[in-house]
């Protein structure tokens, strides 16, 4: 992002969940609230980003539902508690869209654009050219590419991913991205 990159309330922020907001459980799923652990700084990042975006939407693949590992009721409970915790610190999540499907052919499963299109149906004012997607996987970046969003990749090992044409920007964390965006607004 250049120094004059400016978002305003007409912009929408799309966030992946696992690996961006909460710690990803390698080879496992977040099955209960007790297993949901916020990444250090992610709540304060969302609180700061709340003031910079008109909408903040979570888009998350959750094949654990389709596989019968977690019920939709349990997933909604985890999401309700996540949103509640974020709200306690002055942040907000406007809506959460999830894809329960296992198949990569499912329209809702990232990198496919189904969740973005659902968000636009829910919030017709969303302009994908004034949207940013933040994720920690290539499927998140392809989701953003398909829809024309700015793509921000979260990776602790920034050097490893610097050559991908599917990634616009790389930051080590959501918190680092929020700091950068706030600083760029000051210039």
Ordered by start, the domain boundaries in the chain are 12-185
85 three-class SS = helix
Cα of 53 vs its chain's centroid, Å: 13
Per-residue confidence band for 2, with pLDDT thresholds at 50, 70 and 90: very low
Per-residue confidence band for 185, with pLDDT thresholds at 50, 70 and 90: confident
Catalytic residue among 16, 34, 107, 168: 16
Whose tokens are 């409970």? That residue is 77
- Could you tell me which of 131, 155, 6, 8 has the C-alpha nearest to residue 59? 131
Whether 16 is a known active-site residue: answer: yes
Q: Which fold has domain 12-185?
A: Rossmann fold (3.40.50)
Per-residue confidence band for 184, with pLDDT thresholds at 50, 70 and 90: confident
pTM of the model: 0.94
Is the pLDDT score of 43 beyond 90? yes
Beta strands in 75-120 (DSSP E): 95-99
Each residue's pLDDT tens digit, 108-154:
999 999 999 999 999 999 999 999 999 999 999 999 999 999 999 99
Is the pLDDT score of 160 beyond 60? no
Mean pLDDT of 51-55: 96
Whether 104 is a known active-site residue: answer: no
What's the confidence (pLDDT) of residue 158?
59
């Amino acid at each position: 992002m250049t120094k004059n990159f400016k978002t305003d309330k007409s912009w929408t922020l799309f966030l992946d969940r696992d690996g961006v907001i909460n710690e990803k459980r390698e080879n496992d799923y977040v099955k209960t609230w007790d297993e949901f652990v916020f990444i250090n700084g992610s709540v304060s990042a969302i609180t700061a980003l709340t003031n910079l975006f008109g909408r903040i939407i979570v888009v998350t693949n959750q094949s654990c539902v389709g596989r019968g590992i977690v019920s939709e009721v349990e997933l909604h409970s985890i999401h309700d508690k996540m949103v509640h915790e974020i709200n306690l610190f002055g942040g907000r999540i406007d809506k959460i869209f999830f894809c329960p499907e296992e198949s990569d052919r499912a329209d809702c499963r990232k990198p496919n654009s189904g969740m973005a299109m659902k968000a636009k149906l829910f919030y017709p004012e969303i302009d994908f050219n004034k949207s940013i997607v933040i994720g920690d996987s290539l499927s998140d970046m392809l989701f953003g590419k398909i829809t024309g969003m700015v793509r921000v990749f979260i990776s602790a090992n920034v050097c490893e991913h610097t050559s991908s044409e599917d990634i616009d920007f790389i930051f080590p964390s959501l918190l680092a991205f929020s700091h950068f965006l706030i600083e760029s607004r000051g210039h």
